[in-house]
């Protein structure tokens, strides 16, 4: 009789995407594709498709708390990925939850604005995010727009990225992966500010494709999954970026929806 083995698990605390490309759906696909077991807590219910976000319905904070308590009572995560939070009250509940499991690594993708321009985070929650939330985060993965908000500065170059990253790291977060996909040029540059204060530069060729919906969600959940499997932060960042690159590459000729389609999360499987 084959001995049972526990899979490493990753908890996704995120919003919903009915089109399947971003949010919780992207997290579940990514975690599963990389061999992990996904558990989930829903924080908000955006109504969206590949063409954009039409509206957002709130999840009551006490319901978020009940979800967190239920999951933790049964399945302890090896890593946590946090995406869309939306409200300060929910952020506080998550902070209290994280205090109960301080040894579990937390990857936070600070989803503030959708790719279609819809605000996904209350403006008044920014101060709470910086003062109370970021110190609980092991690895932060902002894009340039999000980093610009957090660092309170424009980011137009790799030099600006380094300056912004150094500002953000002083907010108490352990490490930062600053994604430079929005910079002009044919090359994509990302900077990883590691826990030992070293800075690692990653470069790749940009892929021309409309199917990039959920790239940030996929990257952050991939990092969390690799961390859960026992990889170091630096190894996880490197492997996750390669996974996302291949998922975009294998999706560029696919046709999913009328707008920005999803990545191909299961390119390794089929």
DSSP letter assigned to residue 136: G
Known catalytic residue at 230:
no
The total of other beta-carbon atoms located within 10 Å of residue 67's CB is: 19
Residue boundaries of the structural domains of the chain: 9-249
Of the candidates 50, 136, 217, 261, the residue annotated as catalytic is: 217
Known catalytic residue at 39:
no
Q: Burial-class residue 208 by CB neighbours within 10 Å (0-12, 13-18, 19+).
A: exposed
Cα 247 → chain centroid = 16
Known catalytic residue at 218:
no
Of the candidates 215, 218, 260, 261, the residue annotated as catalytic is: 215
Identify the pLDDT of residue 128: 83
Identify the pLDDT of residue 200: 98
- Written out in words, the top-level CATH class of the domain with range 9-249 is alpha beta
pTM here is: 0.94
- pLDDT tier at 113, thresholds 50, 70, 90: low
87-90 own/partner pairs: CB under 8 Å, 24+ apart: 87/44, 87/58, 87/61, 87/122, 87/125, 88/122, 88/124, 88/125, 88/128, 89/61, 90/43, 90/59, 90/61, 90/64
Of the candidates 23, 214, 260, 261, the residue annotated as catalytic is: 214
Known catalytic residue at 216:
yes
- pLDDT tier at 26, thresholds 50, 70, 90: very high
Instruction: Find the range with the poorest average confidence among 65-69, 120-124, 237-241.
Output: 120-124
Of the candidates 212, 218, 225, 261, the residue annotated as catalytic is: 212
Helix (H, G, I), strand (E, B) or coil at 9: strand
Q: Whose structure tokens read 């902070």? A: 95
Known catalytic residue at 212:
yes
Of the candidates 65, 81, 179, 260, the residue annotated as catalytic is: 179
Known catalytic residue at 179:
yes
Of the candidates 83, 180, 216, 261, the residue annotated as catalytic is: 216
């Amino acid at each position: 009789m084959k001995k049972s083995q526990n899979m490493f698990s990753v908890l996704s605390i995120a919003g919903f995407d009915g089109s399947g490309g971003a949010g919780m759906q992207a997290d579940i696909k990514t975690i599963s594709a990389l061999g992990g077991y996904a558990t989930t807590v829903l924080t908000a219910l955006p109504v969206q498709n590949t063409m954009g976000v039409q509206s957002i319905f709130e999840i009551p904070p006490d319901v978020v708390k009940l979800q967190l308590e239920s999951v933790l009572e049964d399945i302890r995560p090896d890593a946590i990925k946090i995406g869309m939070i939306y409200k300060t009250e929910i952020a506080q509940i998550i902070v209290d939850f994280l205090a109960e499991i301080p040894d579990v690594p937390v990857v936070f993708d600070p989803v503030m604005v959708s790719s279609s321009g819809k605000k996904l985070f209350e403006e008044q929650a920014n101060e709470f995010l910086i003062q109370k939330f970021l110190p609980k985060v092991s690895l932060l993965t902002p894009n340039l727009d999000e980093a610009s908000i957090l660092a309170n500065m424009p980011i137009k170059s790799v030099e600006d990225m380094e300056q912004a990253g150094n500002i953000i790291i002083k907010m108490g977060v352990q490490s930062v992966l600053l994604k430079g996909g929005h910079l002009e040029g044919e090359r994509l540059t990302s900077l990883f500010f590691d826990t030992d204060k070293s800075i690692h530069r990653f470069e790749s060729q940009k892929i021309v494709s409309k199917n990039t919906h959920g790239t940030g969600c996929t990257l952050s959940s991939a990092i969390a999954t690799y961390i859960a499997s026992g990889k170091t932060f630096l190894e996880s960042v490197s492997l996750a970026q390669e996974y996302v690159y291949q998922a975009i590459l294998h999706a560029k000729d696919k046709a999913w929806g009328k707008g920005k389609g999803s990545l191909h999360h299961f390119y390794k499987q089929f």
